[in-house]
Structure 1
């Protein structure tokens, strides 16, 4: 299966959930969860959405500083409020709230920063009269359409929105689909249209086939097959800005998530939820600054990482592999000498990465013993150079914990 070069070089991207819901500061699903009528939602949130400090160049600069290779902006979430100047959807940021197109400067800024441009788009639209079940507690089913005529109108409408996004803003690198429910919205046909508009674009797996990237949400669940994949995660417990959500991940947890994805050949798409004025919350910046400092020094151990055959161990976890180089990431203290009983290959060299200081080692059969690098403080990384392609002494064929 062909791998996407830029996607695997990146390994890390920034998801940006931002829209009218950011005014409320209670997360992105409030219209549905709180049963807010469309007109009330428009009046209280869409019309009060100012984007008064929106600076996409700053977003792009932060993403680059944090070590991310691409960004994905929610151009329209399930509430139906579009961030671009749409001719087919008058419920948009150019006509309400900010009174300007917010997608155009985003695309320009991200491209200028040398990052790949990603757009999130949800066909689901709670504000569209043809969409079934905007206030359901479960996603609508195929039987919930008002009729075939309503379904066809809806498909034509969402395709027209996509055509605007993919023909009016230059090259788009990644289209991230969400809310492709009910499932009978003729996604395969839509994908064929998209590839005509943007031949080099990559697509996630939520609309139809053929797709390029398999995604998992709020979990790290690599596909069984060796293909491009991505875990999308929140930095706290919400995607959209929530003023009362203080359950932030630490910088160490972010690093561990990134490495956990990288060791299985996947990417981490980590979310920020800007406030309604366009500023990224201070706590998000602090956490990602700290994680970014680590990544700046250890990037080579993360980008273009490959899936490997090694099972988990109790201390040096995760493990990333690139060619004949193995990186043992000590996020926990080994408490002296460390034994790694996984490696079949002969070790040529062990060194502290990226500083380069030699690390003492000896191999006794299947067991590799590593000395504690002098002066190293957790977290630290040891790079092993081995003979040939890394192989495991034993393979793990099932999940360790029985279901």
Structure 2
């Protein structure tokens, strides 16, 4: 990642994560100084090594799709956009304030009567995702508005009551599975449309009875999704921060047990539940509550030490905070192909996955810019995906030229900052048992010269290997050098040091 972009991303991460609840993503996680007795801790072992989790670790690139009734307003209503006072696209039902249209909630809750995406073709989406190089999909089955994109039997507020009528979740799951892309189901616990939902902790007998109905309803919908779409690989949970859910830790603990028993290999991120002390994502002793760290939403770790060996993925928007469809992208910075490739490779260099969000419109079409970015990322991945899929943190000294990844005895360096002299200098500890011995360009298979460069800098613990990139090789994107590593052929010469 170039230094300016890296600095900008880290600054953004710090600003976004100032709230105490998100403090664990502003830097290395604080260690617990005192161990607590915890009954509602992790149900899943750390660093699972089963087939499903190994597949998750190897994905590299994923796609997120936010789609629902909020695609109809498209981030604005009656000329007022989120930049002018409305709530963000997928949150627009929560719009409050002087600019809110009259009877807005009623208007929004009746948008399902207009939802008839005549251009929607799940097979077209799945083909595009495969061409982009995505290995998994996270799809919104139900967002905070409560509208179910499948014909759930537990609520009338679902796709079967719309003019479209057909089961969108089934169409998506079937199409992506047919393309060899694993499907994860996004599910919001928070549900604005449901009269039994409440944000505060239920205190009275009536409130407890009411919220118990909601909890049972939530359980039924989750079991229904697993039954209807057995191909699904996991859940991506959202809307779990309200006190009503946090205080339901006994229920959520048992529910996670049940979900895992009914779907062996199920993958659940860290934001599903909390312990009895209210700690989310990580329990009060710092143990992760889930199979992977789910907090990297529009933010990235500063370095590998922040992760402490945990599995993780980063979910990222193209506009600054645009998850659902936004009609108007003008006047705001939208991430470029180069920005996104930088974040993708950086994530892979820290043994994580990168998931790019798409927000289709009310007719089922991606934004034209999303189509373009998907094509350009796909073109790059077809050539360079070897450095991403199944790749891990390489344990190399950081390079100002780009990012290292490693797979077996292959070392990859993705160059974002090409040196003016075309000499790619790689720093290796003098004690290293593996060093680069051969190098090729992934772009064309050309063999590159590798030279040992012992600079002889006093007190330098490193030695250097230079890979020479031909000046005739030209590209307008980042490119990958693939190297084989082996034991060094000789030791650096020991010369007499000057007396000081």
Give the structure-2-normalised TM-score: 0.72
Look up the match of 2:336. 250
Q: Is the 8 A contact 2:394 2:411 kept in 1?
A: no
Look up the match of 2:292. 213
* Residue 286 (structure 1) shift: 0.6
Where do 1:50-69 residues align within 5 Å?
Answer: 50-69=116-135
Structure 1 stretch displaced more, 148-157 or 342-351 = 342-351
Look up the match of 2:453. 364
Q: Secondary structure at the match of 2:439?
A: strand
Where do 1:156-175 residues align within 5 Å?
Answer: 156-175=216-235
Look up the match of 1:387. 486
Is residue 2:214 matched to residue 1:147? no
Cα deviation, 1:336-394, whole Å, max 9, x if unaligned, reads 123232453332112222422222232234122222234222422111211269xxxxx
350, 361, 378: which one pairs with 2:439? Answer: 350
* Residue 328 (structure 1) shift: 1.1
Cα deviation, 1:277-322, whole Å, max 9, x if unaligned, reads 111111101111011101011111111111232343222x122111
Is residue 2:48 matched to residue 1:2? yes
173, 176, 182: which one pairs with 1:110? Answer: 176
Give distance in 2, aligned partners of 1:31 and 1:91: 15
Q: Secondary structure at the match of 1:236?
A: coil
Which consecutive residues of structure 2, in runs of 5 or more, have no partner in the other structure? 1-46, 76-88, 274-287, 455-462, 489-500
Give the structure-1-normalised TM-score: 0.88
Q: Is the 8 A contact 1:352 1:373 kept in 2?
A: no
Structure 1 stretch displaced more, 340-349 or 192-201 = 340-349
Look up the match of 2:283. none
* Residue 90 (structure 1) shift: 0.8
Q: Is the 8 A contact 2:293 2:311 kept in 1?
A: yes
* Residue 210 (structure 1) shift: 5.3
Structure 1 stretch displaced more, 142-151 or 20-29 = 142-151
* Residue 121 (structure 1) shift: 0.4
Is residue 2:319 matched to residue 1:236? yes
Is residue 2:333 matched to residue 1:333? no
Look up the match of 1:135. none
Give distance in 1, aligned partners of 2:128 and 2:385: 16
* Residue 57 (structure 1) shift: 0.6
Q: Is the 8 A contact 1:231 1:268 kept in 2?
A: yes
Distance 1:97 1:206, change over 3 A: farther
Q: Secondary structure at the match of 1:106?
A: helix
Give distance in 1, aligned partners of 2:72 and 2:470: 50
Look up the match of 1:224. 307
**What is the number of equivalent residue pairs in this alignment?**
380
* Residue 141 (structure 1) shift: 4.9
Q: Secondary structure at the match of 1:91?
A: coil
Structure 1 stretch displaced more, 161-170 or 354-363 = 354-363
Give distance in 1, aligned partners of 2:441 and 2:203: 59
Distance 1:141 1:277, change over 3 A: same
Distance 1:124 1:198, change over 3 A: same
Is residue 2:143 matched to residue 1:85? no
Is residue 2:383 matched to residue 1:297? yes
Q: Is the 8 A contact 1:85 1:101 kept in 2?
A: yes
